[in-house]
Structure 1
Amino acid sequence: MKSLKTYSIPFTGLKLGKHDFDYEVGNAFFDEFEYSLVKKADLVCKVELEKQETMLILSFDIKGTITLTCDKCLAEYPQPVDIKEQQIAKFSGGEIDEDEEIITLTKNDHEIDIAGLIYEYVNVAAPFIAICSDEGKTPYCDKEMLDRLNALASSNDQNTKTDPRWDVLKKIK
């Protein structure tokens, strides 16, 4: 978790207005998270922090590539990502309200940790079904694996006998 300390922004000494921060997000970042969907990445994260009297507005611009495993051919391939997100953090002197949309900072907080936000934004940006594009046409696609899958699928089609009950039901149309 020591490497994640670099993803904290100390806001107490900052003047009101906009401030820019740049971060390199790579493999070491995602190694800190045990169950991450993303393990390899080459990302540049630009954070614009706008400090106001009662809140901080964080604008994230994350660009680069993440390495995913294709669900079809099991080959690793680079997936480009371009993420633009915004997060609001408000200052509160009293009780902290639990809100998923707004981060609440107390008077004892002197910095804001953005590692969790970056991790969440990148993992949410990863496609639900990871496919390395056109079958066999990209240099990352494992053509041998696709040939094996197609051979298995065709052999299963030939070996499958239809149940005679289904044949009777097909005649109902």
Structure 2
Amino acid sequence: MEDKSYEFYYELGSEFFEQMSQELIQKGDFKVHLVLDKSTTMIQLRFIIRGTAELTCDRSLEVFEEPVDTEGKIILKFGDHDEELTEEIAIINRNRTRINVAGYIFELIALALPMKKIHPDLRQQSGGNEDETDSETLVYSSEGSKSEDPETEDGRVDPRWEALNKLKQK
């Protein structure tokens, strides 16, 4: 390849995800635009990925389509061996004649998916706030308490300390 910019277009279907030997995405339909900039010392890969992934809801186990619109950049520097330095930078052998970008594409799609896979109907029912139930959960912690005194400011004994006080009195 000469030192210049190249553009590639890919259409990914369910066959792509079946070949990736993973369980996160079973089906999907994506269009990928890849811009490859080659220079004497490195190759820059810029991905623009748009499409939908078929996911299973964590709450209802219903299958739904999640839209994905993401971009990413990978830098491949030429060297004597293959090594991944960071998530975005890798060293590849300068004599390599082919680059398999399937792993990079899958990784970018997987990172664009939400941590909690919630069906869109359930998101609307909860008012659009996925963390609503988490914020209502009470957590008792001794960190940040003002004193070790089991009595509250109004003189009542904190219910967390009542069981301990019974043990202490025996």
Could you tell me how far apart the structure 1 residues matched to 2:94 and 2:42 are? 12
Distance 1:53 1:134, change over 3 A: same
Would you say 1:88 and 2:75 are equivalent positions? Answer: yes
Would you say 1:169 and 2:152 are equivalent positions? Answer: no
Calculate percent identity across the aligned residue pairs.
33
Residue 123 of structure 1: CA displacement?
A: 1.3
Aligned residues: 129
2:41 alignment partner, one of 23, 44, 54: 54
> Considering only CA atoms, is the larger Rg found in Structure 1 or Structure 2?
2
Residue 135 of structure 1: CA displacement?
A: 2.8
Would you say 1:132 and 2:119 are equivalent positions? Answer: yes
State TM-score, norm by structure 1. 0.67
Residue type of the alignment partner of 2:95: N
Where in structure 2 are the equivalents of 1:17-166 lying within 5 Å? 17-92=4-79, 94=80, 98-100=84-86, 101-135=88-122
Residue type of the alignment partner of 1:129: K
| Superposition RMSD in Å | 2.4
Residue type of the alignment partner of 2:62: A
Give the unaligned 5+ runs of structure 1: 1-13, 139-167
Greater length-normalized contact order (CA 8 Å, ≥ 6 residues apart): 1
Could you tell me how far apart the structure 2 residues matched to 1:135 and 1:97 are? 43
Give the unaligned 5+ runs of structure 2: 126-157, 163-170
Query: Per-residue displacement from partner, 1:95-153 (whole Å, max 9, x unpaired)?
Result: 55541332212133111110111111111211110111233979xxxxxxxxxxxxxxx
Residue type of the alignment partner of 1:169: P
State TM-score, norm by structure 2. 0.68
Residue type of the alignment partner of 1:99: L
Could you tell me how far apart the structure 2 residues matched to 1:77 and 1:123 are? 16
